[in-house]
Amino acid sequence: MREVVAHLVGMDLVFAAMIQGGPMPERGADRLGDDPVGAYRSSSAALLAAFSGPGVLERSYHGPLGSATGAERLQIRLYDLLAHGWDLAQATRIPARLPEDVAERALAFARAQLSTQSRTGRFAEPRPVEETAPAIDRLAAFLGRPVPPQL
């Protein structure tokens, strides 16, 4: 779980740096220390601040996979956060209470985005899942996670 939280914190900081034009965070640094919750809250605040600036959503930003608008970058960050939230819920057996409409929009965006990009090194191939499954489960399956059958 610590690795997942470290990934979330690191990616929050990467997206914030990309949007604000600042230096990228150092790879491999321990950003959690003795307070993973505090580190996550701090990185989330930095991410929120970065995306809250005027004109951010309309501007284009260059990253390792090409250019995208701030709105598209926010959608990318959102589906990553949702998927890892699902991962943590599965690991802890605590149900993920994620808004169905938000997960549905994230799934639609991920499907559209990944239809034109390589999954290599990022996501496994989509896994089977019932079409009637909650949107968060369908998103997880689309991003290559095995989804347990609904009971």
From residue 39, give the alpha-carbon distance in Å to each of 35, 45, 66, 90.
6, 10, 28, 22
pTM of the model: 0.89
| Triad 71, 76, 79: Cα angle to 5° | 120
109, containing H or E segment = helix 100-114
Mind listing the pLDDT tens digit of every residue in the chain (151 residues)? 899 999 999 999 999 999 999 899 988 889 999 999 999 999 999 999 999 999 999 999 988 778 899 999 999 999 999 999 999 999 999 987 888 999 999 999 999 988 877 777 788 889 999 999 999 999 999 999 999 887 6
